[in-house]
Amino acid sequence: MKNRIEYWASIKTGLDKLLSVAFSFCILGIVWLLLQVTSFASFKIPSDSMEPALIAGDNILVNKWVMGGRLFDIWEAAGGSQVDISRLPGFGRIKRNDVLVFNFPYPARWDSLGLNLKTYYVKRCVAVPGDTFEIRNAHYKVYGYKGTLGCVDSQDKLLQILSIGEERNWGIVMKGFPRDSLVNWTIKEFGPLYIPAKGGRIWMTPVNGVLYRNAIEWEQKKKLMQRGDIFLLDDSIIQEYQFKEDYYFVAGDKVMNSKDSRYWGLLPEKFIVGKATLIWKSVDLNTDEIRWNRVFKRIE
């Protein structure tokens, strides 16, 4: 009888320990999930479009505290539906030359903005809401801003390639956003383009209709149509438009090989995951060896 009691007591003790371990793992899982939503995320760099700042095989830490973590229905987004996105309180703001991780804003068609939940990009912010951005001789400029934007060495290299007519040999596509004969911009000569800020207004001209159609339709969930000199938002005539959201303009540091805002246009603020701040691990994709000289390197 005594042995039986001791046996069941040992079983109970083992179950208690197992339940305690399972409970601890559940708590750790919940804490990890909360941190992923509110504080940080990790992404692996797959290509060379951000060289030399980031190279393929770098694993980067993304700070969500700057803008605040995003909250949205992930199942609806995964199904391709347009979702409402809100943010937790942020403790900073995105500045020019910050490196951003974001969802690519075109999930299916080039004429329709949307949250592409499966595709993440990392690029450098070269213009913020309210800026007027342009490219002259392949170099980035913002009206009223005297600092440098993006990787100037790479912009110099692109200009050199274009000057000797070698762009085809490099596979460089010259035609830029918005790919319309009314606005014949290239990655060498681009803009000026107003980067919309929340509350900013534009007049509805044929050129602005081309430049901002995708953003307006995404914000309003309505079709923007032009009839002669008249613009219709569904069946309402509009002469000007006031933006409801903030937008950014982003570019890869390796400008010869980067699919960025020069080609696809404005990045809605709500599609931004956060600011890339640290390389926490780096692996050489050819040898699988750790690049120890890049581990815990700050992203500048």
Active site residues: 49, 123
Place of tokens 């060289």: 51
HEC sequence for the chain: CHHHHHHHHHHHHHHHHHHHHHHHHHHHHHHHHHHHHHCEEEEECCCCCCCCCCCCCEEEEEECCCCCCEECCHHHHHCCCCCCCEECCCCCCCCCCCEEEEECCCCCCCCCCCCCCCCEEEEEEEECCCCEEEEECCEEEECCCCCCCCCHHHHHHHHHHHHCCCCCCCCCCCECCCCECCECCECCCEEEEECCCCCCEEECCHHHHHHHHHHHHHHHCCCEEEECCEEEECCEEECEEECCCCEEEEECCCHHHCCCHHHHCCEEHHHEEEEEEEEEEEECCCCCCECHHHCCEECC
Question: Quick one: which of 258, 259, 242, 276 has its CA closest to 105?
Answer: 259
Give me the torsion for CA of 44, 41, 130, 173, rounded to 10°: 20
Place of tokens 């701040």: 277
